[in-house]
Amino acid sequence: MGAVPEPARPGYDPRDLQVGLVHLGAGAFFRAHQAWYTHQVTSGGDHTWGVLASSQRSPAVTDRLAAQDGLYSLLVRPTHGPPSVGVVGVIRRTACAAVDPQPIIDALTSPDVHAVTLTVTEKGYRLDGGRLRLDGEIDADLAGRPPETVVGQLVRGLQGRAVHGAGPIALISCDNLSDNGVVLSRLVRDFAERLSGPDAEVTREYIERQTTFPSTMVDRIVPATADADRAEAHRLLTVRDDAAVVAEPFTQWVISDEFLGPRPAWEKAGATLTTDVAGYERVKLRLLNATHSLIAYLGALAGYRTIADALADPLIERAARTLIEQDTIPTLTAPDGLDLAAYSEDVLSRFANPALGHRTAQVGMDGSQKLPQRILSAVRERRSTGAVPRIGALLVAAWMRFLLGRDDQGGTLEVSDPMAGRLVQLLDSAVPTRETVRNVLAVREVFCDDLAHDDQFVDAVTYWYTALRDHGVAPTLQGV
């Protein structure tokens, strides 16, 4: 560290840190969010929260971090004024599950480790209707191979803790899922129930008595790092950083206070420890994430590359505001007296930050995994009062058009979704439009069993889908 210039050093010596946390999913979001909070706690003098950061599939990020002794910089880009940079040193070890999960299991088993945070994205949970999707991968993990699934890795770690008496642990989901802690606890239990062998019972008992699953709401806009960001970090730091991440200034972390053992004092870094995470999570998913997805799909179809450019289009802005006012705010109860209208305004001004360069294609990815918690539960709640959530239907229709991979000018859209193949086949079929829409709404993994049978909702989605296809985004939005 001695030769590294001043701005490129954290205010503590990373070599002093003991590993007390494991993180699964060492992508940009983790480095700009959870690791940043832990960095603040560490800067305050508590050196017991070094992190083992792991990736699931590709070792690209963890290799880059390892080559820099875990150090990386966080570039913060405000709407106005110059960016700032800070160096984070809490990542002390790295591992990639696809290469070798053993270091992750070993760390999970260590008595010095007291919590695990997860940002493995919606699809990393392998959900099927809120339960664990029992497929060949899970079977193989259960049969005892080095675990390749997230839940398999966690349960193997818990098994090690149970056998070695390693003390309690908190497993903290930080993905954009409603009731993410409850979801994770169900998945872990679904896996553990199927364990066999001499440690199975003691593992299940350990899960019941010594494992907690705090739910969380996480919020920070973290676009994929671009070359311009790396160049800016280089300029500010005076050293090159291949693992730099970029974020907006805003950050929020609400955590359910369910810990049986020690935890980092994340509240000293601004996190909120509370008993009402579900209320915050619902507000964030419906007011921020649903609106983000709407802007992303409409924007991409209209030919806008970034969220800020898309939102600068008055027609798209109006659609976003109408979604909030008519379809999502009416489904929400504000936690702790939060002002929902003011919250929504803040969200829109964060989206408008042009310095972030947040791509519509990035927010548009994995729609099949995101729409259920962002908009479909709100759609159901509106339908149960008899209302037809028009802009909610527009969001679903715009996502369907986006999946076909062409914008209004015929340009190619970058589509990435684990269910794209199957959905595009349904969308490309020769049946009448209303049937096409109904067939997509009948995909149970996304829409459950109800929405395809709701004629008014099918009509609403068909209306927007037809308008987007026949006229494009701008003329369609005149009708919002």
Q: Which residue ranges make up the site for ligand CS2 (CB under 6 A)?
A: 176, 219-221, 289, 292, 362-363, 370
Q: How far is the CB of 292 from ligand CS2 (least distance, A)?
A: 4
Q: How far is the CB of 32 from ligand CS2 (least distance, A)?
A: 10
Q: How far is the CB of 177 from ligand CS2 (least distance, A)?
A: 11
Residue number with CB closer to ligand CS2 (104 or 319): 319
CA 469, CA 480: separation in Å to the nearest integer?
16
Residue number with CB closer to ligand CS2 (212 or 215): 215
**Cβ-based neighbours of 73, under 8 Å, separated by 6 or more:** 8, 85, 86, 87, 88, 233, 237, 241, 243, 244, 245
Q: How far is the CB of 293 from ligand CS2 (least distance, A)?
A: 6
Which two tokens mark 282? 């619902």
Q: How far is the CB of 467 from ligand CS2 (least distance, A)?
A: 25
Residue number with CB closer to ligand CS2 (117 or 211): 117
Residue count of the chain, please give it.
480
Compute φ and ψ for 255, nearest 5 degrees. Answer: -125, 135
Going by C-alpha positions, the residue among 160, 110, 149 that lies closest to residue 127 is: 149
CA 48, CA 39: separation in Å to the nearest integer?
11
Q: Which of 2-31 are b and which e, b meaning 16 or more Cβ less than 10 Å from the residue's Cβ?
A: eeeeeebbbebebeebebbbbbbbbbbbbb
Compute φ and ψ for 253, nearest 5 degrees. Answer: -145, 115
Q: How far is the CB of 119 from ligand CS2 (least distance, A)?
A: 10
**Other CB atoms within 10 Å distance of the CB of residue 110:** 21
User: Pairing mode, if any, of strands 245-247 and 272-274?
Assistant: unpaired
Q: How far is the CB of 179 from ligand CS2 (least distance, A)?
A: 16
Residue number with CB closer to ligand CS2 (370 or 401): 370
Residue number with CB closer to ligand CS2 (206 or 297): 297
What are the start-end ranges of the E strands in 235-334?
Answer: 245-247, 252-256, 272-274
Residue number with CB closer to ligand CS2 (143 or 342): 342
Residue number with CB closer to ligand CS2 (122 or 232): 122
Instruction: Fill in the amino acid letter for 361.
Output: A
